[in-house]
Amino acid sequence: MKGQLATQRPGGAGGWLDRTQCITWQWFTFSMSTGGLAILLYSIVHRFDGLDTIGTIVFIANLVIFVALVVGVCLRFATHRGALTRSLTDPSELFFMPTVLLAVSTIITGAANYGMTKTGPWLGSTLQVIFWIHLGVCLLQSWTTYLTIFGGGHKLKIADYTPGWILPFLPLMLLGTVAASIVPLLTPGDALNVAVGGLILQGLGFILSLLEFALYLFRLSIYGLPPPAARPTMFIAVGPPAFTSYALLRLSENASSYVTDQTLTPPVPNLAPMIELVATLFALLIWGLALWFFVLALACNVAAAVRRRRLKFGIAWWSFVFPNVGWALSTNEIGKVLGSNAITWVAAVMTIMLVAVWLLLLFRFAYAVLSGAMFRIPLDDQREEERADEPRRLWHQDGQGHGVASNGLDGQTLHGAERA
């Protein structure tokens, strides 16, 4: 494979430090996918002896992965001048910075799930404090990211749009899921506060994602499908409706434990059952949206695989896992609410498939890291070859009306060749 290995300092140690320039925010998609899988293994209805143990192992493994990635990016920022500033201002990296918060959300949720029966009351109190801090950080991130884009002089083009641009809103959208996992550990008063806070931010993230979907569909209508390397990110669009559906069902499932008829003023009889009914109806409504985006993304990726025969692995491939975890979770909850054994078995099959995909990606990712392919920066002539090799070129008009090729954000960062 053509390219330049990121080892320019003399000596082995220096070379490995140089390789850290390729560890970007996007690598945290590995952690959030692993954490999401742990949540799914905990939630699935159809279980077998040892599944809790497997889920616990995956959860602990995600903690190790997250710490390793934090160390990696810190080394990069410490050893490469300007790397931190660039990662927080360059759209090719900035849009993926929220993956850190998404990974943290999966860790909080996993801690609540797997620690519920193994710890004391202190866990609920601790996670409640962490939840409110995390909520504030997620809200601040959603503002600062787009303020940086709007005020930083970046001229983003609709031709370059990918669902990855939705990522700054996804930490907000996942707060309902986090809240639903913490609520069973809290007193009714604290549970109500956490549920309301999580629901508000969940709704905010979902609505902002819907606004972004308009740009996404407009881009597909005008410019056609993204390049094959970017198509795994099309699954990101599955996440907002899927996780929102799941959060609504989980929050309403426990509503009777923290909502009474006197919660509202004036009192409302049978308030908790009414909340559960409304949440179920809306969850079913938006589950269909997740299904539509899933089929669209699947068809486009299958078409790319058939046409290109062998697609090159990239870090963006983790998009195959995390959004679809949300879809499997919501499907599982819908089966529970409707009392449908068939639907819960469909969710179980989806879980098995996601585990298989995660194992495949883990193997490809480990091979790319150990072989050094994840630390290889493409040469300029290689970049040109890859652009020329794309089956579809994206074009926009410059100020004089001439056609200008646009490479755009293809789900790969500019600081590492994340292909093997």
Domain count, the chain: 1
Whether 331 is covered by a domain: the verdict is yes
Q: What pTM value is reported for the model?
A: 0.85
The tokens describing 375, both together, are 């630390």
Is the pLDDT reported for residue 377 higher than 70? no
Whether 86 is covered by a domain: the verdict is yes
Of the candidates 100, 121, 103, the residue with the CA atom closest to the CA atom of residue 112: 121
Comparing 16 with 283, the larger pLDDT belongs to: 283
Comparing 72 with 418, the larger pLDDT belongs to: 72
Whether 264 is covered by a domain: the verdict is yes
Is the pLDDT reported for residue 17 higher than 80? no
Is the pLDDT reported for residue 381 higher than 70? no
Residue-number span of the structural domain to which 167 is assigned = 4-374
Mean pLDDT of the 220-242 span: 91
The tokens describing 190, both together, are 């604290």
pLDDT band of 68, cuts 50, 70, 90? very high
Whether 410 is covered by a domain: the verdict is no
Whether 301 is covered by a domain: the verdict is yes
Is the pLDDT reported for residue 206 higher than 90? yes
Whether 137 is covered by a domain: the verdict is yes
β-strands 376-377, 403-406: how paired? Answer: unpaired
Mean pLDDT of the 278-301 span: 95
Whether 340 is covered by a domain: the verdict is yes
CA distance 326 to 36: 8
> What CATH number should be reported for the domain holding residue 109?
1.50.10.150
pLDDT of residue 88: 87
pLDDT band of 15, cuts 50, 70, 90? low
Whether 415 is covered by a domain: the verdict is no
